[in-house]
Amino acid sequence: MALRSGWAPRKKTARPQLLEIPEMLRPLIRDWWERAGRPTTGLLFAARRGEHAGSGPKIGVSHAVAFRRDLRRAFGVDLWDPETRRFARPEDRELSPRERELFEDTPFTKPVDFHSWRRAYSQALANAGASAQQASALAGHASLDAHARDLNNTANMALVPAAALPSIQVLPQLVAKLEKKAKGTKEKSPVLPGLFRLLRGGATRLS
């Protein structure tokens, strides 16, 4: 079995949708399929515990909790204790500022969750040149408006294109002036007066 694609029901409507399995994921999917006994019908990723184990869908499972748990282990926040046979956070292990943003509430951010993956994927599709319609379908958005909202929340939307900025060649000279000032030299520089003349329209270039 090639395992090039698969059907997955949408969470809200249960409508089946055909999804291509990226080539990089096919060995992992195939390994899971073989360890599951090579089923030809039913769910490949069925519930592993509870009443519907092995056949039914997962119910009441938080992907966000599992995601943060695995990240904590990958980052070394939670370590394996051979005595208790459990992962636990050492008492002297402090969270870095970045880890705190990922795992805890901050004044400006929420803990990382499934939608963090989705927003990153939406941005990656945009960077790859995918059309809005294709990106919306691949990300599972119900509408183009929902896809646009995800893109608006990404960091790339706050980046100012260099081509949109005026061409003012001042930074290298200004940096040199500041370095000289830090070294205690008193050499005067025409950079700032030239910049002011340029902004007033009184000069075409900096001297």
What are the pLDDT tens digits along the chain (207 aa)?
678 888 877 767 777 888 888 899 899 989 988 988 888 887 888 877 777 777 777 777 778 888 899 999 999 999 999 999 999 999 899 999 889 888 998 888 889 888 888 888 888 888 888 888 888 888 878 788 877 877 776 767 778 888 888 877 666 667 677 777 777 655 555 555 555 555 555 444 444
In a domain, 83, yes or no: yes
Secondary structure of residue 140 in the 3-state scheme: coil
Which alpha helices (H) appear in the chain, and where do they start and end? 26-35, 63-74, 97-103, 114-127, 132-139, 144-152, 171-182, 191-200
Q: What's phi and psi for 16, nearest 5 deg?
A: -70, 140
In a domain, 14, yes or no: yes
* 73 lies in the same domain as 42: no
* 43 lies in the same domain as 76: no
Range of 92's domain? 62-112
* 21 lies in the same domain as 75: no
Contact 1, 33 (CB under 8 A): yes
In a domain, 165, yes or no: no
What is the total count of domains within the chain? 4
Contact 154, 139 (CB under 8 A): no
* 53 lies in the same domain as 100: no
* 85 lies in the same domain as 127: no
In a domain, 164, yes or no: no
* Cross-strand pairs, 19: 6
Q: Model pTM?
A: 0.57
